[in-house]
Amino acid sequence: MATEVIMPKAGMAMEEGTVIKWLKEEGDKVEKGEAILEILTDKVNMEVEAEVGGILLKTIAKEGEVLPVFSTIAYIGEEGEKIPDAYEETKKRNEGKHVTPKENQIKETQREEISFSNTKIRATPAARRAAREKHIELSQIRGTGPKGRIQLCDVESFREIEKSRKRSTPLAANIAKAQGINIEDIEGSGFKNKVLKADVEKYLSHEKNLREEEDKIIPLTGMRKVIGSRMRDSYFTAPTFTLNIDVDMTNVKALRNEVKDSIFNETGNKITFTDIIIMAVSKALMKYPIVNASLVEEGILLHNYVNIGLAVGLDEGLLVPVIRDTHKKSLSEIVNSTKDVIERTKNNKLLPDEMEKSTFTISNLGMFGITHFNPIINQPNSAILGVNTITDKMVVINKKPDIRPIMCLSLTVDHRVIDGAPGAKFLQYLKDLLENPMKLLI
């Protein structure tokens, strides 16, 4: 018996997935464990592997289609094996037997007219006979007799009115009415030029294309939909405030210049200011665990480890891969880990669990010249650090003016967990670590 391929549930929050690309075609041989298609889950692309070997008998879901988890998207089996009867029946209904174009138009008209109403229609025998002779559907006529019964005069009146207006199926007419379209503007393709449902849909599609030429709409689906939902929940759930502090980056720049060659020779990667900030943040979080906390049903959960979520901007949205146990990592290990997750994020190679269990998040907009911003907390974290651009500013050092590279750090915290004083102490300590980076080694 053919085996179903289903839309997997990759993570507790996943409710639907999008088919991005089929890696195999119908009729192709597949091995157990071989990737057969690529899907978009909550926020990451992932490959779906075949649970059994055999022939890809049928692909049900089309590329770009959004389906609930556990939906059947394909069948795998032996060559020539029939797929389940339920699908065969659907296929028969959709394909039907071969008919001429004219016969097909008549059948389409009949299907729409029958589907419009399956209730019993009250009419006199004379009205029924006249309607049958004139090929008029009684469901289109409003009766004027007792209890709404259709009479012969109603049929004759309807026929006279129909002569002066375009013919359409009731379903087509109702769709046009609901969309505010004049049925007279639509060209019919049915029997005797009757307007069908398909004609109305074609007309609507044409109108939509004309609108899209003027205004482009970006569908709120996939990654963008998830981001919108999570940011809304965070913004309206947590009462927040943002603390800002300026940091003199003179010594960080000096440290980076001093170690960049050694780290490149060891790792093959270039060290960035973000790498040093991650190391400093990890040390500060271990000293002030209230900033490294999550609000749970039982109370405030203080984490005894640091998993840094690093916001990575993509053209289609924002992802937050997690670098685990940064409080234990050396600077070289942080450089390697950061480079790895950023590259895999940009190439859609992250696994769903690599975006979970962060305890604190860093969002860096410094490369865009941003001087201050209020980042939104990435729940279940209770705080997020916004990293801004480094700008040369005039400052007073030992009562003398001097130009120094200054960077502003913006810390947004959940006031249900963190008060102003603990947040300020954390920022002060972080500032001290960055202005005296040798302390990172102590």
Least confident piece of the model among 100-109, 148-157, 348-357, 423-432: 100-109
Average of pLDDT values for 89-105? 44
Q: Look at residue 162 and tell me whether its pLDDT is greater than 60.
A: yes
Structural domain boundaries, residue 300: 223-441
Percent of the chain topping pLDDT 90: 46
Band of residue 96 on the pLDDT scale cut at 50, 70, 90: very low
pTM, two decimals, is: 0.60
pLDDT digits (tens, 9 = 90+) for 348-360: 888 888 989 999 9
Among 95, 116, 139, give the residue marking a domain's end. Answer: 95
Q: Are residues 86 and 51 in the same domain?
A: yes
Q: What is the mean pLDDT of the chain?
A: 85
DSSP string, 329-388: --HHHHHHHHHHHHHHHHTT---GGGGS--SEEEEE-GGGT-----PPP-TT-SEEEEEE
CB 190 within 8 A of CB 197: no
Q: Would the pLDDT of 117 be above 50?
A: no
- What pLDDT score does 95 carry? 46
- How many domains does the chain fold into? 3
Residue at a domain's end among 76, 95, 114: 95
For 356, list phi and psi in degrees, rounded to 5: -120, 160
pLDDT, tens digit, 9 for 90 and up, residues 237-250: 899 999 999 999 99
Task: Using pLDDT thresholds of 50, 70 and 90, give the confidence band for residue 158.
Answer: confident
Q: Do the beta carbons of residue 362 and residue 309 sit within 8 Å? A: yes
pLDDT in tens, 250-294: 999 999 999 999 999 999 999 999 999 999 999 999 999 999 999
CATH code of residue 55: 2.40.50.100
User: Tell me, what CATH number does 190's domain have?
Assistant: 4.10.320.10
Point out the least confidently predicted range of 101-115, 134-148, 260-274, 326-340: 101-115
Do 242 and 138 share a structural domain?
no
Percent of the chain with pLDDT over 70: 85
Mark whether 418 and 269 lie in a shared domain.
yes
d(CA 128, CA 136): 9
Examine the pLDDT at 103 and tell me if it is beyond 90. Answer: no
Question: Does 178 lie in the same domain as 123?
Answer: yes
Q: Does 285 lie in the same domain as 409?
A: yes
Torsions phi, psi for 298 (to 5 deg): -80, -15
Domain end marker among 33, 66, 95: 95
Q: Which of these, 295, 276, 272, 243, lies nearest to 426 by C-alpha position?
A: 243
Catalytically active residues, by annotation: 415
Highest mean pLDDT range out of 46-60, 146-160, 303-317, 419-433? 419-433
The Cα–Cα gap between 398 and 402 comes to 9
Asked if 325 and 423 sit in the same domain, the reply is yes
For residue 115, the model assigns a pLDDT of: 45
Tell me which range, 16-25, 152-161, 187-196, is most confidently predicted by mean pLDDT.
16-25
E strand or H helix at 324? none
**Per-residue confidence (pLDDT) for residue 320, from 0 to 100:** 94
